[in-house]
Amino acid sequence: MSEQDEVPSSMPTGAAVLPRAVRRALDFMQAGLERDIGISELAAAAGLSARALQRQFRAFLGKSPHEALRDIRFEAARRQLLLGRPGTRVMDVATACGFPHFGRFSIEYRHRYNETPSQTLRRQATFSNVVAGQLQMFSHSADRPGVTIGQIETAAGQEEAGRGIADEIATALARIGILTTASTGSTRYHLAGAIRGSGAQARLIFRLIDRESGRHLWAHRIEGNWDRASAFDEQLATRLAAALRPSLRAAEIDRALQKPDADLTAQDLALRAMPGVLSLDEAGNARAIELLNEAMTRDPGEPLPFALAAWAYAQRVVYYFGSDPSRDRALSVEYARKALGLRADPRVLAVAGTALSLLDDESAERVIAQALAIDGSSAFAWGRSGWVDVYRGNDDAAIERFMIALELAPTDALAFNNLYGIGVAHFNAGRFREAAQWQARALAEHHSLAWMHRTLCPAYVFAGARDEASASIRRLREGYPELTLAKVADGLPPLPQSSRERLVEALHDVGLPP
């Protein structure tokens, strides 16, 4: 788990410019979270008077020492609950982080993070169970990137822990088809790691570097006690692999874009098409299909172009991009089946399963479950399994899976679609205010995706937000001037019948023609 990715720090990013006394005080807080630390003791540790320390905290952090300590304690509790180690109990976490009153802790935790501590811990148990049950299948394609895992830099006494960490990472990356090696110079990408500090305040720092260009592609920090090799387990390695993937994928797409057209393989063409498929907009969809048609022709034995084409043609059906949805539907199913009949790795399984799920194919749930069973680090597969639960009406399970996807890859290009999925799950459950809030968050990240308004507008209607509903239906009709209730119903993904009826009812209420 990365502090910067999953648990926003209450401390400023420019912490290096803090006065030495403030840094001392913060370090003292981190080292004694479970203790009742008073201002006098804190001031003594910082080497200032209590009044001077309070002034410096206000000036440089915008909060009092007491407020800063409370924020640090909550962030520490959040980190421990997000790790969800076997045997973890909420009460024990609260006590260890300096919260003796469990009820008060739970109330403020929910206020800060929009969920109870128990919900956080249950979600991590779901994730841990999937990781523990992963099938032992390892494969590598010559078209997939390779990563050199350098020796983890450690202090004396941490060498065994460093070797154990490197081994766990190599296993997690091999599971998703990435060749790993310890030989410097044999791959394009280099993963460097280091343990900084010791004991409870140690930090494990990673950097992914493109050796050819020298660019730093990604950085990640994990806090914990890394003096023992067992501290970095399969679950943490899986999370690291998930966090690394978006940057590695972006680097591979950039590499494909830089290659001369005459040298492009089917895999390169698929990589060039990927941003268009991920955009979920009409122009990107059209560009992607053109590239994928060329890729499928160039190498009919490469599964990724067929899987992406299946998803792209399914998008034409559910997002109203095409004029012949019956043809698009048939092509999507045909290409998905073709991809699954070839060398289907977890990525291909997840993408093809996505297409099938959008079209309500009975095999979709099985295919996506298979992808997760092989690769529990795939935020994409977790998100798609959440959509399967939405379509089945399993709303709370869907929200849990979307949240896991967001925690694994919060900066991924499709993170907004998990926010949107949470909103649709709330709509299914009749929680319309929450449905509108989550969908609006997703739309804020992609203003151009007018199709979101077909579910956002009804959420506003049933929440009683008439002005917002009017603005939303106007945006939907601007994006789709010829849209009718019948066309909406035909293009909807396989939501529960009750939700489909609510959507049509609300859109009729705001004036969408039959």
Q: What is the pLDDT of residues 159-170, one digit of tens each?
A: 888 888 888 898
Question: CB count, 10 Å around CB of 138?
Answer: 12
The architecture CATH gives domain 146-254:
3-Layer(aba) Sandwich (3.40)
User: Rounded to an integer, what distance in angstroms lies between the CA atom of residue 308 and that of residue 304?
Assistant: 6
| 441, 459 contact by CB (below 8 A) | no
pLDDT of the residue at 158: 83
3-state helix, strand, coil in the chain (%, to 5): 65, 5, 30
- Find the Cα–Cα–Cα–Cα dihedral 503, 505, 507, 509, rounded to 10°: -150
pLDDT of the residue at 3: 37
Question: CB count, 10 Å around CB of 397?
Answer: 17
Instruction: Evaluate if residue 7 carries a pLDDT over 50.
Output: no
pLDDT of the residue at 1: 37
Instruction: Evaluate if residue 200 carries a pLDDT over 70.
Output: no
Q: Phi then psi for 192, rounded to 5 degrees?
A: -105, 140
Q: Give one DSSP letter per residue of 378-433, joined into a string.
A: -HHHHHHHHHHHHHHT-HHHHHHHHHHHHHH-TTSTTHHHHHHHHHHHHHHTT-HH
Residue with tokens 């009919």: 300
pLDDT of the residue at 49: 94
Q: What is the pLDDT of residues 383-418, one digit of tens each?
A: 999 999 999 999 999 999 999 999 999 989 899 999
In the chain, CATH 1.25.40.10 sits at: 382-514
CA distances from 295 to 290, 292, 301, 344, 374 (A): 9, 5, 10, 17, 26
| 490, 318 contact by CB (below 8 A) | no
Q: What is the pLDDT of residues 129-186, one digit of tens each?
A: 888 777 665 555 556 788 999 888 888 888 888 888 888 898 888 877 788 887 777 7
Tokens of 147: 């990563």
What's the length of the chain?
514
Q: What is the pLDDT of residues 58-91, one digit of tens each?
A: 999 999 999 999 999 999 899 888 877 777 899 9
Region 238-249: what's the mean pLDDT?
89
Structural element, H or E, at residue 218: strand 216-223
Region 490-495: what's the mean pLDDT?
93
- Mean pLDDT estimate for the chain: 89
Instruction: Evaluate if residue 262 carries a pLDDT over 80.
Output: yes
Question: Out of 130-139, 294-303, 322-331, 350-359, which region has the weakest mean confidence (pLDDT)?
Answer: 130-139
Instruction: Evaluate if residue 187 carries a pLDDT over 90.
Output: no
CA atoms within 13 A on the CB side of 307: 28
In the chain, CATH 1.10.10.60 sits at: 3-132
Tokens of 366: 């099985």
pLDDT of the residue at 476: 96
User: Rounded to an integer, what distance in angstroms lies between the CA atom of residue 426 and that of residue 462?
Assistant: 12
Instruction: Evaluate if residue 13 carries a pLDDT over 60.
Output: no
Position 344 confidence tier, pLDDT thresholds 50, 70, 90: confident
Instruction: Evaluate if residue 225 carries a pLDDT over 80.
Output: no
HEC string of 348-381 equals HHHHHHHHHHHCCCCCHHHHHHHHHHHCCCCHHH
Region 20-32: what's the mean pLDDT?
88
Position 486 confidence tier, pLDDT thresholds 50, 70, 90: very high
Position 212 confidence tier, pLDDT thresholds 50, 70, 90: confident
Provide the whole-model pTM: 0.85
| 114, 76 contact by CB (below 8 A) | no
Helix (H, G, I), strand (E, B) or coil at 322: coil
Instruction: Evaluate if residue 9 carries a pLDDT over 80.
Output: no
Q: What is the pLDDT of residues 267-300, one digit of tens each?
A: 999 999 999 999 999 999 999 999 999 999 999 9
3-132 is a CATH 1.10.10.60 domain = yes
Q: How do beta strands 189-196 and 146-149 pair?
A: parallel
Q: What's the CATH number of domain 382-514, 1.10.10.1590, 1.25.40.10, 3.40.50.410, 3.40.640.10?
A: 1.25.40.10
The architecture CATH gives domain 259-375:
Alpha Horseshoe (1.25)
Region 90-97: what's the mean pLDDT?
92
Q: Phi then psi for 495, rounded to 5 degrees?
A: -70, 160
Region 491-504: what's the mean pLDDT?
95
* Amino acid code (one letter) for 334: E
